[in-house]
């Protein structure tokens, strides 16, 4: 259950009043999620989500919250942080940094079809374009530097074959990061964790992207790769489902044309996307925080995905 910090009704109600969205009528803990404490909060003014940040600091949070605001103002369907009378969108509750955002309608599409993949691809491209003039800078905190420091920490928990794979893949990605082709990749604010459970659909209509708390400045191609590795694979085998993947990339490309380096480096970045989540899942699995009652995500899934991306590289077959 992802309520790490219990929030009393009165405390939430006074925050709602402070934001001018009160009075609070209902407050309900959200069971899913593994990073933050989340509550659905209904008020006389609308439906909101209250988040208490358990891992992120008040120094890191403005990047994410202002990015959501920036995107929302530009018409990208993302939760919009609610400001107080002085314009502040980062609040505090129960001694933790907190935010209140509007609640998206719809639900998760956990068995996506081509039409869903096209919509995510299209909206991802629009989001990348809309973030082009976002002025704040914060690197992807789950990027290469974090992989480099975390792999040695998880290594003792791996079999010799797994240790060999993770070490050689890390070396491959470290080498790639130093190449001119990699340096030429377009970059900007990326979501970096846009899995099926971080997108809302109402039927076939995409109603929002959320959970921006792994966002950062990185290559757009990394964001695309993270999506393809979740939206467009067979979850049992890790194999790329080429019809869905081609539809995703074509829809993206219609909104924001992929450069030559982006097309060429797609197979390498798909490997990077798999490595990133293999490492984070190993880290969560073997070094759990106090939320030990949570069921961590299965790390072997991304080991399988990584092996697939290496053994059977996927290239976007774009013709224009
Ligand atoms: N703005 C929102 N609108 C509607 N539902 C939301 C919103 N934010 C969160 N939720 C709901 O709360 C659930 C948990 O939120 P979320 O996935 O962000 O958890 P988390 O612990 O913050 O992150 P993680 O996905 O990394 O575990 C989501 O699956 C979703 O159902
Ligand atoms: N999307 C991540 C969880 C953190 O948001 C994973 O599936 O490992």
Q: In the structure, what pLDDT confidence band is assigned to residue 319 with cuts at 50, 70 and 90?
A: low
Domain 114-311, CATH number (from 3.30.70.270, 3.90.1200.10, 3.40.50.10880, 1.10.3300.10):
3.90.1200.10
| Nearest CA, atom 1, ligand 1 | 103
Provide the token pair at 11: 């405390």
DSSP structure class, residue 80: P
Q: What is the pTM of this model?
A: 0.95
Note the pLDDT tens digit of each residue in 149-192.
999 999 999 999 999 999 999 999 999 999 999 999 999 999 99
Mean pLDDT of 82-90: 96
* Choice among 35-39, 87-91, 245-249 with the minimum mean pLDDT: 35-39
Cα-to-chain-centroid distance, residue 163: 26
Name the residue with the closest Cα to ligand 1, atom 19.
33
Residue 292: pLDDT over 50? no
Residue 273 in this model has a pLDDT that exceeds 50? yes
Confidence grade of residue 317 (pLDDT, cut at 50, 70, 90)? confident
Taking residues 87-106, report their average pLDDT: 96
Share of the chain above pLDDT 70, in %: 97
The tokens describing 216, both together, are: 């950062």
Average the pLDDT over 106-131 and give the result.
Answer: 97
Q: How far apart are CA 222 and CA 295, in angstroms?
A: 27
Q: What integer pLDDT is reported at residue 318 of this predicted model?
A: 73
Does 281 sit in the ligand 2 pocket, CB within 6 Å? Answer: yes
β-bridge mates for residue 48, sequence order: 41, 102
Domain segments of the chain: what residues? Answer: 9-102, 114-311
Answer with the residue of higher pLDDT: 36 or 217: 217
How much distance in Å is there from the Cα of 36 to the middle of ligand 2? 13
Find the mean pLDDT for residues 285-311: 84
Mean pLDDT over each residue of the chain, to the nearest integer: 95
Our mutation pick for probing the ligand 2 site, out of 32, 195, 275, 283, counting the most ligand atoms within 8 A of Cβ, is 195
Beta bridge partner(s), residue 205 = 202
Alpha carbon of 192 to ligand 1 centroid (Å): 15
Task: Return the bridge partners of 201, or none.
Answer: 107, 206
What local confidence, expressed as pLDDT, does residue 4 receive? 85
Under the banding of pLDDT at 50, 70 and 90, the label for residue 289 is low
ipTM above threshold 0.85: yes
Residues constituting the chain: 320
Q: How far is the CA of 194 from the centre of ligand 2 (A)?
A: 9
Q: Which atom of ligand 2 is nearest to the CA of 214?
A: 5
Protein residues whose CB sits closer than 6 Å to any atom of ligand 1: 2, 30, 32-36, 38, 49, 79, 101, 103-104, 197, 210-211
174-185 pLDDT per residue, tens: 999 999 999 999
Centre a 10 Å sphere on the Cβ of residue 297 and count the other Cβ atoms it contains: 14
Q: Could you confirm whether domain 9-102 is CATH 3.30.200.20?
A: yes
**For 225-240, what is the mean pLDDT?**
98
Atom of ligand 2 nearest to the CA of 213: 5
Counting residues of the chain whose pLDDT is more than 90, the rounded percentage is 89
Q: Average pLDDT of 124-135? A: 98
CA distance 23 to 13: 7
Residue with CA nearest ligand 2 atom 5: 193
Interatomic CA distance for residues 63 and 134, integer angstroms:
10
Tokens standing for residue 29: 């803990």
pLDDT attached to residue 270: 98
What per-residue confidence (pLDDT) applies to 293? 47
CA dihedral defined by 25, 208, 230, 177, rounded to 10 degrees? -110
pLDDT exceeds 80 at position 34: no
Helices (H), ranges, the chain = 9-18, 61-73, 114-130, 144-154, 160-177, 180-183, 220-231, 242-255, 260-286, 299-311
| Mutate-to-test residue for ligand 2 from 36, 225, 280, highest number of ligand atoms within 8 A of CB | 280
Is residue 213 in contact with ligand 2, taking CB distance under 6 Å? no
């Amino acid at each position: 259950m992802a309520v790490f910090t219990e929030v009393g009704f009165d405390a939430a109600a006074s925050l709602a009043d402070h934001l001018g969205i009160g009075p609070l009528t209902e407050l309900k803990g959200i069971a899913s999620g593994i990073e933050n404490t989340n509550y659905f909060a209904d008020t006389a003014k609308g439906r909101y989500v209250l988040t208490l940040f358990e891992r992120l600091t008040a120094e890191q949070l403005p990047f994410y919250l202002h990015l959501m605001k920036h995107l929302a103002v530009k018409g990208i369907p993302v939760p919009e942080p609610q400001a107080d009378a002085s314009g502040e969108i980062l609040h505090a509750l129960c001694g933790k940094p907190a935010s209140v955002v509007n609640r998206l309608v719809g639900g998760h599409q956990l068995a996506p079809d081509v039409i869903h993949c096209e919509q995510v691809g299209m909206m991802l491209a629009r989001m990348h374009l809309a973030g082009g003039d976002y002025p704040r800078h914060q690197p992807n905190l789950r990027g290469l530097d974090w992989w480099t420091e975390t792999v040695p920490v998880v290594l003792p928990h791996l079999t010799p074959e797994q240790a060999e794979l993770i070490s050689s893949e890390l070396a491959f990605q470290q080498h790639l990061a130093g190449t001119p082709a990699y340096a030429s990749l377009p970059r900007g604010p990326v979501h970096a964790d846009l899995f099926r459970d971080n997108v809302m659909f109402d039927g076939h209509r995409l109603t929002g992207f959320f959970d921006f708390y792994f966002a950062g400045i990185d290559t757009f191609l990394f964001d695309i790769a993270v999506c393809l590795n979740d939206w467009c694979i067979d979850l049992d085998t890790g194999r790329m489902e080429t019809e869905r993947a081609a539809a995703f990339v074509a829809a993206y490309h219609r909104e924001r044309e992929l450069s030559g380096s982006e097309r060429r480096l797609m197979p390498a970045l798909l490997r990077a996307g798999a490595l990133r989540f293999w490492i984070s899942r190993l880290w969560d699995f073997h070094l759990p925080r106090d939320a030990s009652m949570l069921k961590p995500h299965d790390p072997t899934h991304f080991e399988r995905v990584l092996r697939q991306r290496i053994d059977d590289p996927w290239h976007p077959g774009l013709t224009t």
